[in-house]
């Protein structure tokens, strides 16, 4: 009985906290819809693209697993100052990015980030990638063994290097959740049924996928 009495205030606090979180998520979803974000981004999983035509019809990346893919502080800041991530225009390998993604003000960005962070995929295994300062095996895979750097910009001592056809991975350590990067390498079809990136399943071992995901997580 005594125990229950002690547990009770804690329980109320927990319930209050979750109500606040839900309210923010709801406010964020409302702001997302009111500002027209859903005209370019879909937020309901699983992936709906079945053909190249479906992929080309998309005006922006799918966001239904945004909470698994991104890190919240990066997301909240980017929504207020959205600099290009893909050097090329979305769905193009020829035309440079026009930039000019719609920006949100600080009052909207917090709740919208909360809302987007609530959208998750259950194939992402939390804590699967151990991030350290360096992962030399992952670095070798990224730069030499696999063609990753041919399509992705990455930071170097001088500035950055790498190809332009894939999203830039400069700053990926702050932007991407390493566990999502691993999940994306392991099960690309869950996230991108119509692929524009080669599939590394069967090419890289699971251990090496973890190494390369850990290496990407060091990108400043």
Q: Binding of ligand HEC at residue 195 (CB under 6 A)?
A: yes
The answer to whether residue 148 forms part of the interface with ligand HEC (CB under 6 A) is yes
CA distance 111 to 11: 25
Q: Using the rule CB under 6 A, is 47 a contact of ligand HEC?
A: no
Q: Between residues 124 and 212, which has the closer beta carbon with respect to ligand HEC?
A: 212
Q: Which of residues 70-89 bind ligand HEC (CB under 6 A)?
A: 79, 84-86
Nearest 5 degrees, angle CA 20-CA 21-CA 25? 115
Is 147 a residue that touches ligand HEC (CB under 6 A)?
Answer: yes
Contact residue for ligand HEC among 39, 136, 158, 202 (CB under 6 A): 39
Structure tokens at 88: 């090329």
Task: Round to whole Å and give the CA distance between 97 and 118.
Answer: 28
**Binding to ligand HEC by residue 60, rule CB under 6 A?**
yes
Residue from 119, 182, 183, 216 binding ligand HEC (CB under 6 A) = 216
Tally the C-alpha atoms within 13 A of residue 177's C-alpha that lie toward its C-beta: 22
Q: Which two tokens stand for residue 217?
A: 């997580």
* Burial class of 72 by CB neighbour count within 10 A (0 to 12, 13 to 18, 19+): middle
- Binding status of residue 101 toward ligand HEC by CB under 6 A: yes
Q: Give CA–CA dist 20/217, Å, rounded.
A: 31
Q: Does 61 bind ligand HEC (CB under 6 A)?
A: yes
Residues sharing a CB contact under 8 Å with residue 22, sequence separation 6 or more, in sequence order = none
Nearest to 174 by CA among 86, 80, 75: 75
Check residue 112 for interaction with ligand HEC (CB under 6 A): yes
Regarding 102 and contact with ligand HEC (CB under 6 A), the answer is: yes
- The single residue among 200, 211, 214, 218 that binds ligand HEC, judged by CB under 6 A, is 200
Contacting residues toward ligand HEC, per CB under 6 A: 32, 35-37, 39-41, 59-61, 63, 66, 79, 84-86, 90, 97, 101-102, 104, 112, 142, 146-148, 150-152, 165-167, 176, 181, 192, 195-198, 200, 212, 216
């Amino acid at each position: 009985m005594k125990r229950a009495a002690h547990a009770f205030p804690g329980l109320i606090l927990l319930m209050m906290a979750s109500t606040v979180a839900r309210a923010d998520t709801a406010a964020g979803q409302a702001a997302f819809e009111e500002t027209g974000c859903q005209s370019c981004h879909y937020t309901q999983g699983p992936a709906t693209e079945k053909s190249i035509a479906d992929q080309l019809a998309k005006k922006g990346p799918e966001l239904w697993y945004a909470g698994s893919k991104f890190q919240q502080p990066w997301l909240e800041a980017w929504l207020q100052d959205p600099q290009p991530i893909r050097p090329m225009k979305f769905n193009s390998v020829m035309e440079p990015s026009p930039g000019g993604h719609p920006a949100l003000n600080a009052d909207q960005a917090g709740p919208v980030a909360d809302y987007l962070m609530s959208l998750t995929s259950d194939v992402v295994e939390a804590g699967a990638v151990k991030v350290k300062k360096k992962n030399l095996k992952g670095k070798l895979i990224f730069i030499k063994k696999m063609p990753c750097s041919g399509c992705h910009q990455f930071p170097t001592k001088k500035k950055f290097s790498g190809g332009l056809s894939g999203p830039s991975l400069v700053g990926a350590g702050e932007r991407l959740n390493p566990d999502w990067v691993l999940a994306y390498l392991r099960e690309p079809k869950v996230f991108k049924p119509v692929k524009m990136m080669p599939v590394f399943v069967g090419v890289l071992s699971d251990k090496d996928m973890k190494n390369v995901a850990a290496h990407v997580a060091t990108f400043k």
